[in-house]
Amino acid sequence: MFEVQSASFEIAGKTLLSPIDFTFGEGQIYGLIGHNGSGKSTLLKLLAQQQPVSHGNIQLDGRPLTQWKPREFARHVAYLPQHLPSAENLTCRELIGFGRYPWHGLLGRLTRHDHQQIERAIALTHTEAFADRLVDTLSGGERQRVWLAMLLAQGSRYLLLDEPLAALDIAHQVEVLALVRKLCRELGLGVVIVLHDVNMAARYCDHLVALHSGKLLAEGAPASMMNDVNLEAIYGIPMRVMTHPADACPIAVLQ
């Protein structure tokens, strides 16, 4: 599990994340919610070793992150940034194959087992139909599925996803989140995901973690987090929570 122990982050004398204590376990989807600049992406980058904590500590399986070598860490934790790198002139299968880098290095030859893991990731994400097409020719939702397949090929126990729904229409948002939840359930993965849409977070996440101005404001199951008082404190505007008539899932609307 990830254990965040009074971890904080500062840059140029400005505190972006105040000391936070929290534990992220496996087999659950944790949704990081809050307004822009609340510290969601900062916390995710700390978990992903993309930036070091200024104070405090973060441990994975009882070991501080500073004691993990990068390739060893990548065998346990896969990170998808908000701004994806270019995949120009790469087929989907080639991009997915990069997920095996932590096991062999950049120039290592792929083994039979590696190819099996790549094909498994393609099957799990239902990307077979376009696995040999160029990534740049895909729709937004298809591209996100391919990037998720690359993370799965990595063989990690944790997926850290920073706003994977950005620039996707609502149909593709539902498609991606449903896939993430399916993978979490079937493979027992721990998922930490940054989401802007609180209703999507409430529907697809097991646990919500609300940040405000770099501080942990509240956390809990969606049923306990989704109330008028919490949401106004998180987003700074009056909101009303209702129950969806079809499945009793809580939904928030503006007052």
Assess if residue 246 is contained within a domain: no
Domain hosting 143: range is 2-226
Domain of 195, CATH number, reads: 3.40.50.300
Assess if residue 39 is contained within a domain: yes
Determine the Cα–Cα distance for residues 196 and 248; give it in Å rounded to an integer.
Answer: 21
The residue written with tokens 């916390």 in the block is 43
**Residues with Cβ within 8 Å of residue 192, at least 6 apart in sequence:** 2, 24, 30, 32, 44, 47, 158, 159, 160, 161
Assess if residue 213 is contained within a domain: yes
Q: What is the pLDDT of residue 106?
A: 62
Assess if residue 241 is contained within a domain: no
- Give the total number of structural domains in the chain: 1
Q: What is the pLDDT of residue 168?
A: 85
Q: What is the pLDDT of residue 244?
A: 87
Assess if residue 80 is contained within a domain: yes
Assess if residue 197 is contained within a domain: yes
Q: What is the pTM of this model?
A: 0.93
Assess if residue 51 is contained within a domain: yes
Q: What is the pLDDT of residue 107?
A: 66
Predicted confidence (pLDDT) per residue in 137-186, tens digit: 998 889 999 999 999 999 999 999 999 988 788 998 999 999 999 999 99
Q: What is the pLDDT of residue 32?
A: 97
**Residues with Cβ within 8 Å of residue 163, at least 6 apart in sequence:** 41, 82, 194, 195, 196
Assess if residue 10 is contained within a domain: yes
Q: Are strands 55-60 and 29-33 parallel, antiparallel or unpaired?
A: unpaired
Name the stretches of the chain with pLDDT < 70.
105-107
